């Protein structure tokens, strides 16, 4: 069990790739907090893996701060943060994407990484922990009609590189993965 004794948060863990990551981490021995804006999904996965569930909107600072406090309360600290929560907009010409859809993509896919860093990096520094950011192949090879989603995932890759350089002296490892549809998310890595 490669993650025995590790404490992890998986954002967007109530479904999809996040659910798969949460299940794999639990199977490898980690204590997992499943964080999701969908509290029902988070509770279901948390219960099924013997983890902790928390309703969290990763695009909202007070919600992320509450999630961080819940992790410290439940686990006494944190070793791994998986920034998995993400959204897209419907495929359309870039000039036709609504401002509301653009704002939502940027808030969930980009601002969330800033917020989790703000509230969780101090905890991860004390544990010499790890951050895993879920990017996408769209950040490397953009697809037509998904311009703003592609850009958000390219941002994730650049943010990961910058975070890795800055946090390495503190002993915090930062990596990105970029799963493609249908792949197991832990097969691709940027570093």
Active site residues: 149
Token pair belonging to 24: 């794999």
What gap in Å lies between CA 177 and CA 191, rounded to an integer?
9
What gap in Å lies between CA 135 and CA 156, rounded to an integer?
6
Tell me the CA distances in angstroms from 121 to 14, 47, 133, 153, one per residue in order.
Answer: 23, 27, 13, 21
Cβ(66)–Cβ(88) below 8 Å:
no
What gap in Å lies between CA 2 and CA 117, rounded to an integer?
25
Tell me the CA distances in angstroms from 4 to 8, 31, 48, 54, 112, one per residue in order.
Answer: 11, 8, 18, 22, 27
């Amino acid at each position: 069990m490669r993650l025995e004794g590790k404490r992890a948060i998986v954002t967007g863990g109530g479904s999809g790739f996040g659910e798969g990551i949460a299940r794999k981490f639990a199977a490898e021995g980690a204590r997992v907090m499943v964080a999701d804006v969908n509290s029902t999904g988070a509770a279901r996965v948390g219960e099924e893996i013997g983890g902790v569930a928390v309703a969290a909107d990763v695009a909202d600072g007070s919600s992320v701060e509450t999630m961080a406090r819940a992790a410290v309360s439940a686990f006494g600290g944190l070793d791994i943060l998986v920034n998995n929560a993400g959204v897209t907009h419907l495929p359309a010409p870039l000039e036709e994407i609504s401002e509301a859809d653009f704002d939502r993509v940027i808030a969930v896919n980009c601002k969330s990484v800033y917020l989790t860093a703000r509230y969780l990096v101090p905890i991860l520094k004390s544990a010499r922990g790890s951050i895993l950011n879920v990017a996408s192949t769209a950040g490397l090879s953009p697809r037509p009609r998904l311009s703003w989603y592609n850009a958000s995932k390219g941002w994730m890759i650049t943010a990961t590189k910058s975070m890795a350089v800055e946090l390495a002296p503190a002993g915090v490892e930062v990596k990105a993965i970029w799963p493609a549809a249908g792949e197991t998310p832990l097969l691709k890595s940027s570093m």
